[in-house]
């Protein structure tokens, strides 16, 4: 896994413009980066979010937690301002695929 940093935007922005936009972290499979399926500047869309994402940075490793107050990433939970970094799975979608999860409620 590797951690990527994204911004939410429906239009691709230049690096200098992205510095003033709030950033979010996701973990992706290392093979996605190594096989050049994902690179800085790529735009992503997900049915989980209404706004597209732009990759602004790819880190050399993965982290478990992101501190939204300080911006620090860590593998140790040491603040109530931290949240767990979600995994982003990159795949092509098809209208013939139905995505579901077990819900025993």
Angle at 32 between CA 42 and CA 11, to 5 degrees: 10
76-93: pLDDT as tens digits: 999 999 999 999 988 776
Collapsing DSSP to helix, strand or coil, 83 comes out as strand
Phi, psi at 58, each rounded to 5°:
-125, 120
Handedness of CA 40, 8, 78, 76 (dihedral sign): negative
Q: Tell me the CB-side half-sphere exposure of residue 98, using CA atoms within 13 A.
A: 2
- Per residue of the chain (105 residues), give pLDDT as tens: 999 999 999 999 998 888 889 999 999 999 988 888 899 999 998 888 899 999 999 999 999 999 988 989 999 999 999 999 999 988 776 666 666 656 666
How far the first Cα of the chain sits from its last, in Å, is: 31
pLDDT value of position 3? 97
The domain limits of the chain are 2-87
Could you tell me the pTM of the whole model?
0.84
Output the six-digit token pair for 79. 């603040």
């Amino acid at each position: 896994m590797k951690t990527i940093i994204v911004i939410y935007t429906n239009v691709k922005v230049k690096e200098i413009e992205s510095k003033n936009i709030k950033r979010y972290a996701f973990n992706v499979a290392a093979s996605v980066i190594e096989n050049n399926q994902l690179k800085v500047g790529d735009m992503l869309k997900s049915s989980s979010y209404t706004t597209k994402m732009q990759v602004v940075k790819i880190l050399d490793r993965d982290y478990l937690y992101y501190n939204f107050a300080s911006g620090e990433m860590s593998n140790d939970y040491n603040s109530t301002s931290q949240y767990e970094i979600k995994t982003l799975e990159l795949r092509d979608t098809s209208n013939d695929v139905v995505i579901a999860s077990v819900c025993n409620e």
